[in-house]
Amino acid sequence: MLTYIARRLAVSVVTLLGVTVIAFGLVQMLPGDPARTIAGLLASDEDVERIRTRMGLDEPVLVQYGQFVSRLVTGDLGESARTRRPVTTEIGARLPKTIELAAAGTIIGSVLGIFAGVVAARFRNRFLDHSVSMGSLIGISMPVYWLGLLLIMLFAVNLGWLPAAGADRRTSIILPAFTIGLFTMALVARMTRSSMLEVLEQDFVRTAFSKGVADRNVVYRHALRNAFIPVLTVIGIQFGSLLGGAVLTEFVFAWPGIGRLLVDSIFARDFPVVQGIIIVFALMFIVVNLVVDILYSYVNPKIQY
Amino acid sequence: MTSDPDALLQVRDLAVEFDTPEGVVKAVTEVSWDLRRGETLGIVGESGSGKSVSVMSLMRLIPTPPGRIVSGEARFEDRDLLTLTRRQLRRLRGRDIAMVFQDPMSSLNPVQTVGHQIAEAMLVHDSQLRDREAKRRSIELLELVGVPQPAERFRQYPHQYSGGMRQRAMIAMAIANRPKILIADEPTTALDVTIQAQVMEVLKSAQQEAGAAMILITHDLGLIAEMADRVIVMYGGRVVEIGEVHEVFHRPRHPYTFGLMASLPRLDTQTETLATIPGQPPSLVTPPPGCAFHPRCRLQRERSLCAEAVPELMDGTTGHRSACHYAEEMQDLVAEVSAEVGVDFSGGAE
Amino acid sequence: MEAWVRFRRHKPAMIGLFILALFILAAIFAPVLTPHDPVQQDLIQSLETPSREFLLGTDHLGRDVLTRILFGTRISLFIGIAAVTFGMLIGVPLGVISGYYGRTSDMVIQRLADIMFSFPSILLALALVAVLGVGLNNVIVAVGVSIVPIFIRLVRGQVLAVREEVYVDAARAVGAHDLRILTKHILSNSWAPIIVQATVSLGITILVAAGLGFLGLGVQAPTPEWGSMLGEGRNYIYSHPHMTTFPGVAIFLAVIAFNLMGDGLRDALDPRLRVLGA
């Protein structure tokens, strides 16, 4: 088991390194003078030169990369070109909000999705099944930003029940969480349904029936426990993905998370922040994937390392 | 059809169909038989003969979207199994009528411990039963079926058991509530040959321990010869012969039964050729007209009756019935084939 | 073809095909279908609600929404096809190399794919747009790159499966060289899931491209693009919801169409794959 974790960690580190190369490379690829880019368009020539020497931008590329990585390891992501504050501060201020939203969306989506998927599998090819299938199709086809707007129109503008934007009130999280939850719900429902159908075909389900176990218990205690395993992986990956992929939702609902920071920074050409967000996000995603993998091998008694 | 007072289970005119893209498959047609108290009834036939489906449908364990019980009656303790509600049926399953399936690896839940699964069989039917008591009894059962270190094994998962042990565990699960009927569907087919005999021993003693009647479904004639009291031979979804094992195997009254016996390789004689049954099993969507076996039957001898009328089960000696228009001519056929192949198939060795 | 018969039987897929056909017709015949100009501003007529003259209303600059949606079909379909083609041109060969030659090239390409997988498509596309800048071509590249890893993984899996088949050994024994084996045997047996994925990816690329447009980082004004129309309409959501409703419906229908067709193709081309279908 430990060797497996060690191996996965090693792979993760390599992947993360690759991400740093890309993040570093992105800024290098920008047209123009990198020092000026980092300093920002409004900076004076002296500032630019200062930054150039301080950041070692006159050194060869490889050396710069080395410095970049060594700074990363100490947690230094540079300064925001807009606010002059450390990138880590900027990100740190908003990261909890993003995690909060991603978690809420994942939980809502997963719980509803699993339930829907189980119901669909149980009543296969009947009305409930077709409704769930159609619902899932709509869920994964719907543009998240449009859904957000529609929900705002309905619940905030017309009904006035929920706040349209921002994160100041306790109920603020409901609409955005539900918006991103919908996609997750559709995905999880589809996955659960097909997993359940596969499991329900298996012999041990027949054995459970032949023992006299009640239908409901066969579905939940026997089938679902088996079917759940691959679904867990999907949920985990979705959560990781939502950490960065909620960009559009954060934008629509003016939710103060790193997604919104990313968009604002792109508009403001604040590249150190963009770079920092890419790295932070990749790191989080890799960690989440690692955790999911380990959890998976734990949950499935057949896997032995 | 006479009614037997000693009968525990009486099946009458059972018919089961399946909807497939190729058409409606008549898997079981006009099947009737009795199961007597304490006896072991074998049901033998090739794949597709309907042997499993006929018994599974009694417990409604066949998938009922494609499948359908078209007609029939199955009397058990003054009730018709086929008309019970799901709740009533659930009370019978695992308690009065228990099953052992073919492949123990896939028939056990991989994410639950074996012990828990055995205990569940008891807990489901006895709401007063406490977990600890169920656990104790499960360990006893594991010991009964010969699983070593039962207390430890209780906590293990199916993939940690060997094939033979898993089947023993399935047997333990089946007799947990002392069922009146034990149904074994190809119990040893998925096991290594060396293990098969052991498991059959366990099955036999388990049956005795529970005092149950057993229905043994298999394609293995040797197994029937050893374990069963009476046997039913099925072909093309119908019963073609019924009788006591000894009778049926030594003096078969149906050319198909004889064909099965004759095609077995023998150790006691030398022969150049194997007497096989020519042709293929019949299509169950469009079965041949008349007797389902007639296209492959030597006894037909060009006689038109076989292709026109489906033969009824008719009495030979007491209790020994077969569905053949020319059952009386069987002995001649046996002699004929014996001469051809050079092996004496008639009567003889016990 | 037998597969086409199977596809026809799949009602939802046929609905998808029908919707797609409508979109294609709209794209081709856009100028004929509407008397209005998609980019001509006319502030007098701005923010009109749906009426007989302007079937879906007008936007804040007086342009007819329906006209812009029709012309926008051209943009979206073009982006979709271009991006998926771009993604496949890179992803498929990489997947083939990774799966067929194994060892080092496999490890390298796999790590590359892992890195790209570390980002959800929108983030990857955003990052690229941040570097490359906005505009139609850059959107195509950005979105195209974001779907490369899916194809790498898919193709690699297919190649790995087929590579072990006996007929590949047989071909090699007869002296066929790699390129021939790859194209004739391996690809010809693996194209079905690739087609299915390409269809679904068409929907995804339209969604992502529209997302970029919504943020204002995609195709730039005044070119009509569904996403940017949504973005512009956002400011008027309280007073004139029609500006946001209809472009969104267009995106939604297009994506559904491709998803439906993808499902149908999956069932039709290889019934064995049905295990994963709905």
Comparing CA positions, the residue from A226, A192, A221, A195 lying closest to residue A111 is A192
How confident is the model over C93-130, as pLDDT tens digits? 888 888 777 777 788 888 788 778 777 778 888 888 88
Nearest CB among A26, A248, A285 relative to C131 is that of A26
Instruction: Give the whole-angstrom CA distance, residue A260 versus residue C174.
Output: 59
Which residues is B79 bridged to in the sheet?
B76
**Chain A residues inside the 8 Å CB shell of B93:** 209-212
* Residue-by-residue pLDDT tens, chain C, 278 positions: 666 777 777 788 888 889 999 999 888 887 877 777 777 777 777 777 777 777 777 777 778 888 888 888 988 999 999 999 999 999 888 888 887 777 777 888 887 887 787 777 788 888 888 878 788 888 999 999 988 988 888 888 887 777 777 666 777 777 766 666 666 777 777 777 888 889 999 998 999 999 888 888 888 878 888 888 888 888 887 777 788 888 889 999 999 999 988 888 877 776 554 333 22
Do C237 and A267 make contact, defined as CB atoms within 8 angstroms?
no
Please tell me if residue A31 touches chain B, with a CB cutoff of 8 Å. Answer: no
Closest by CA to A121, choosing from A50, A242, A226, is A226
Angstrom distance (rounded) from CA A137 to CA A133: 6
Interface test with B, best of A124, A197, A204 (most B CBs within 10 A): A204
CB contact under 8 A, B107 and A204: yes
Q: What are phi and psi of B218, to 5 degrees?
A: -165, 165
Cα–Cα distance measured from residue B134 to residue B162, given in angstroms and rounded to the nearest whole number: 24
The residue type found at A263 is V
| Neighbouring subunits of A (3+ Cβ pairs under 8 A) | B, C
CA distance A131 to chain C (A): 12
The alpha carbon of residue B120 is apart from the nearest alpha carbon of chain A, in Å, by 8
Look at A34-43, A246-255, B262-271, B324-333 and tell me which has the smallest mean pLDDT. A34-43
Cβ-nearest to A149 among C126, C211, C244: C244
**Chains in contact with B, where contact requires at least 3 CB pairs less than 8 Å apart:** A
Tell me which of C106, C112, C115 to substitute to probe the interface with A (most A C-beta atoms closer than 10 Å): C115
For residue C119, which residues of chain A lie inside 8 Å, CB to CB? 244, 278, 281-282, 285
C252 to A241: CB separation less than 8 angstroms, yes or no: no
Which amino acid appears at position B44 of this protein? V
DSSP state of C44: G
Q: Any CB–CB contact under 8 A between A216 and chain B?
A: no
pLDDT for position A305 = 41
Residue B215 is encoded by which pair of tokens? 């229905």
* SS3 state of residue B36: strand
- Give the nearest partner residue to C237 out of A27, A136, A149, using CB atoms: A149
Per-residue burial over A131-167, b if 16 or more Cβ lie within 10 Å, else e, is ebbebbbbbbbbbbbbbbbbbbbebbeeeeebbbeeb
Query: CA-CA distance, B345 to B185, in Å (whole number)?
Result: 29
DSSP string, B167-233: HHHHHHHHHTT--SEEEEESTTTTS-HHHHHHHHHHHHHHHHHHT-EEEEEES-HHHHHHH-SEEEE
**A239 interfacial to chain C (CB closer than 8 Å):** no
Confidence class for position A158, pLDDT limits 50, 70, 90: confident
CA of A11, closest CA in chain B: separation in Å?
Answer: 29
Give chain A's end-to-end CA distance (angstroms, integer). 5
DSSP state of B296: G
Q: Do B103 and A203 touch (CB under 8 A)?
A: yes
Instruction: Give the model's confidence band at B100: pLDDT under 50 very low, under 70 low, under 90 confident, else very high.
Output: very high
Q: Touching check for A33 and chain B: CB below 8 Å? A: no
Whether the Cβ atoms of residue B11 and residue B33 lie closer than 8 Å to each other = yes
Which of A123, A124, A199, A211 would you mutate first to test chain B, the one with the most B CBs within 10 A? A211
| Global ipTM | 0.81
Is B in contact with A (3 or more beta carbon pairs below 8 Å)?
A: yes
A288 Cβ under 8 Å from any chain C Cβ: no
Cβ distance A248 to C122 less than 8 Å, yes or no, reads yes
pLDDT at A4 over 80: no
Nearest CA in chain A to C276: A194
Model pTM score: 0.78
- Structural tokens at position C103: 């060892």
Are residues B122 and B129 in contact, defined by beta-carbon separation less than 8 angstroms? yes
**The pLDDT of residue A298 is above 90:** no
pLDDT class of A303 with cuts at 50, 70, 90: low
Residue range A68-73: mean pLDDT, rounded: 79
> d(Cα A300, Cα A228) in Å, to the nearest integer?
10
* Higher pLDDT among residues C63 and B205, named by residue: B205
Which of these ranges, B251-255, B261-265, B332-336, has the smallest mean pLDDT? B261-265
Q: Is A252 on the interface with C (CB under 8 A)?
A: yes
- Return the H-helix or E-strand segment holding B258: helix B255-262
Tally A–C CB contacts below 8 A: 123
C151 touches C88 (CB < 8 A)? yes
3-class secondary-structure state, position A169: coil
Going by DSSP bridges, is the β-strand pair B230-235/B40-44 parallel, antiparallel, or unpaired?
Answer: parallel
If pLDDT is split at 50, 70 and 90, which confidence band does A220 have? confident
- Could you read off the pLDDT of B286-328 as tens digits, one per residue? 888 888 888 888 787 778 888 887 888 777 667 788 888 888 8
Order of strands, edge to edge, in the sheet holding B40-44?
Answer: B97-100, B181-185, B213-218, B40-44, B230-235, B238-244, B321-322, B314-315
Over the stretch B39-83, which tens digit does the pLDDT of each residue have?
999 999 888 888 999 999 999 888 887 888 999 999 998 889 889
- Torsion region of B48: left, alpha or beta (phi above 0 gives left; psi -120 to 50 gives alpha): left
Above pLDDT 90, what percent of chain A?
Answer: 7
- What three-state secondary structure class fits B156? coil
d(CA B102, CA B10): 24
* Of B76, B107, B100, the residue nearest B89 (C-alpha): B76
Both structure tokens of B210: 């529970």
Exposure on the CB side of residue C57, measured as CA atoms within 13 A:
18
pLDDT band per the 50, 70, 90 thresholds, residue A56: low
Question: What are the structure tokens assigned to B278, written together?
Answer: 């020519």
A75–chain B Cβ distance below 8 A for any pair: no
